[in-house]
Chains A and B, each alone.
Chain A
Amino acid sequence: MSDPGLALAGVSAAYRGATVLHEVDLTVARGELLVVLGPSGAGKSTVLRVVAGLEPVTAGRVRIAGRDVTAERPGRRNVSMVFQSYALFPHLSVAENIAFGLEVRDTPRAAARERARAAAETVGCAGLLDRRPAQLSGGERQRVALARALVREPDVFLLDEPLSNLDQALRVQMRAELRALHDRLGATMVHVTHDQTEALVLADRIAVLRDGRIEQVGTPDEIWRTPATTFVARFVGSPAMNLLPADGPLRPDGAVVPGANQDGTQIGFRPEAVALDAAEGAAATVERVEVVGEDAYAYLALDGGHRIVARVPAARRPGRGAAVRVGVRWADAHVFHAGSGRRYVP
């Protein structure tokens, strides 16, 4: 069990001549659920497609369960994939869809159907076996696609934004079911999403991808608490983390925030760390207020044209145009090199 479930070493990939992955190193332990998170066009799906063998690599190696599969065709990699569109065969029944992979691999028909039924029960769609995809709802299709992926017991599950076509409520529900399914199966999974909440909720570890490069890999906690770059810091969390130059209107004490006093650094702090009633605070004007249930987000203009967001209890929100005094809980602040965007390490 020493081999990881999946390992990418220095993998680069190109699409129509443009490099879309740059020397990606990524290891997924057996039984781990890794979420690849990033904005559109970051190369998330390409990571999955490279693992599945649907795209060739231009450099690097792909290993699955200790086996170098870089030169293997997709069918020989023992992975299964859930596509964003689910890719169900419209002319086949649910049972036939689930059993497809077994049948083309010459599993006897009866055995294939039995395993398909078992897989359908696992994901809770056993009642749909005789239907056609056209007769299913979005959530039902999602379950069928999942059942099809797990019927074969692959080494790695690849899930390409499987929840993005569902409405919000269903997405939350399926998210929980997916996590439960993973825990029950103990399977190695790579899940791609652009939704940071989904990533934080689902993942054992998250890999944040930007322009074909890995920005940071870590547990949701690490990603949240110690973002490695300004990109990660701002991409994870909503509203995004505030970023101000260290010599801006809000200056922390160098003793409290190491590195904050050096030239060329930026200070980051989340809206939760901002208070509007600090006696000694910098003066600011409330430009806009958004109320989300119990919380309210106040968008503030500071001197010198800097803008930040503060989270306040909705009940005590300021009015638009109100003058406030801004204070920051500096213990929760982050320092980044302004040029590289990398986290300052004392």
Chain B
Amino acid sequence: MTGTDRRSRRQLALMLTPYLVGLVGLVLLPAAVTLVLAFTEYDLLRPPRWVGLGNFAALLDDPVFRVSLTNSLVFALVAVPLRMLFALGLALLLHRRAVGVGSARTAAVLPTAVPEIAYGLLWLWLLNPLYGPVNQLLRTGGENGLTALGRTPPQWLTDPTDARAAIIMMSLFTIGETFVVLLAARRALPRDVYEMAAIEDATGWDVFRRVTLPLMAPALGLLAVRDAIQSLHFSFVPAFVVTDGGPPPYATTYLSLFVYRTGFEYLRYGYAAAATLVMILLTVAAVLVQWRLIRRYRAFYRL
């Protein structure tokens, strides 16, 4: 090993240290503890008691857990593609230089910068069934509190389906990071390729399908993986602040909220840890599936 080698390795280790300490102390250790606690009965107040697979057996029988699991999966399956589509649409719309594009980009990113709780409270007002701007808008042109089409406006906070839609709607506007990455990815695409397509008289749809989409697919794939993982998290605050897991019984109780409640409200920490473990396993499974898809894609195009 040469001297410079040794020095650069030492520098590398030094620079990685703060990150590693954080990773171990704040992520890996708690994760390991959670893993162990999942096999215990623990109420935070008395020492944990080993129960083996008891928690998992109980989870299988727990209707609330099953509902939460379904809710989370449905949310991810609907929200993630919609978010990607929305962010991609915005990125393609706003990647050019034009009047107002700068402000539009800022507007697209802004909701992501709002603290989550404040964002939730904002939507609580927006979705207020009687006085909220959303339903006020839907009622314009209608009579007697109905929409112009003579229908009852959505009951965002009291109807299970509408409430789930509301949570997904809320998640659609916090796509700032995805949007920024896609914007950068789009702007990094070579201009002459698009000019080439223009000379060949490719239609907008052809350009999107044959050029933009395949060229951005690696970025899209990676972001979709990230979003799928994140979806377990960003469904928490809306459900916690806006719908409180309801309408009854558990229309918008997602896994994260279920874990929070069992852990911190009902002090069943071991049980919550078991649910968390299921959540982690689900995440890993989702990542693996998407990873395989991406690899297959890359192999297909030999990128």
Contacts and interface: CB of A to CB of B under 8 A. Distances in A.
Is there direct touching of A and B in the complex, by C-beta distance under 8 Å?
Answer: yes
Contacts of A101: 199-201
Interface in B186-222: 190, 192-193, 195-203, 206, 210-211, 214-215, 217
A344 interface: no
Contacts of A76: 201
A85 B192 contact: yes
Q: Interface of chain B, helix or strand or loop or mixed? A: helix
A83 B214 CA distance: 21
Interface string A159-203: 000000000000000000000000000000000000000000000
Given A54-B198, A74-B198, A101-B200, A90 B303 contact: yes
Nearest to B300: A91
A87 B201 contact: no
Given A54-B195, A83-B195, A104 B200 contact: yes
A19 interface: no
B210 to A, nearest CB: 7
Contact of B193 (A75, A77, A89, A105): A89
B303 A91 contact: yes
A74 B201 contact: yes
Given A132-B301, A134-B302, A75 B196 contact: no
A13 interface: no
Interface residues of B, number: 21
A326 interface: no
Given A91-B215, A100-B210, A135 B302 contact: yes
A73 interface: yes
Given A100-B210, A104-B206, A132 B200 contact: no
B201 A104 contact: yes
A75 B199 contact: yes
A81 B302 contact: no
A54 B194 CA distance: 10
Contacts of A91: 214-215, 217, 301, 303
A80 B211 contact: no
Given A134-B302, A135-B302, A87 B200 contact: no
B201 A80 contact: no
A28 interface: no
A79 interface: yes
Contacts of A73: 198, 201
A42 to B, nearest CB: 20
Given A89-B211, A132-B301, A132-B302, A81 B193 contact: no
Contacts of A134: 302-303
Interface string B59-85: 000000000000000000000000000
Interface residues of A, number: 27
Contacts of A87: 190, 192-193, 195-196
Interface in B172-196: 190, 192-193, 195-196
Interface string B27-59: 000000000000000000000000000000000
Nearest to A83: B192
A91 B198 CA distance: 18
Interface string A124-144: 000000001011000000000
A52 interface: yes
Contacts of B199: 52-54, 74-75, 77, 79-81, 101
A104 B192 contact: no
B210 A104 contact: yes
Among A88, A89, A134, chain B packs the most CB atoms within 10 A around the CB of: A89
Contacts of A52: 195, 199
Nearest to B198: A74
Nearest to B189: A90
A101 B303 CA distance: 22
Contact of A83 (B196, B198, B303): B196
Contacts of B303: 90-91, 132, 134
A30 to B, nearest CB: 20
A129 B233 CA distance: 47
B218 to A, nearest CB: 10
Contacts of B214: 91-92
Interface string B232-266: 00000000000000000000000000000000000
A67 B172 CA distance: 49
Contacts of B203: 104
Nearest to A132: B302
Nearest to B207: A104
Interface in A186-222: none
Interface in A64-109: 73-77, 79-81, 83, 85, 87-92, 100-101, 104-105
A81 B196 contact: yes
Contacts of B196: 81, 83, 87, 89
A79 B196 CA distance: 11
A287 to B, nearest CB: 45
A85 B197 CA distance: 14
Identify the 3 closest CB pairs spanning chains A and B, nearest first: A75-B201, A101-B200, A87-B192
5 contacts: A74-B199, A91-B217, A92-B210, A100-B200, A134-B303
Given A75-B202, A79-B199, 19 more contacts: A52-B199, A73-B198, A75-B199, A75-B200, A77-B199, A81-B195, A85-B192, A87-B192, A87-B196, A88-B193, A89-B210, A90-B215, A90-B303, A91-B217, A92-B210, A101-B201, A105-B201, A132-B301, A135-B302
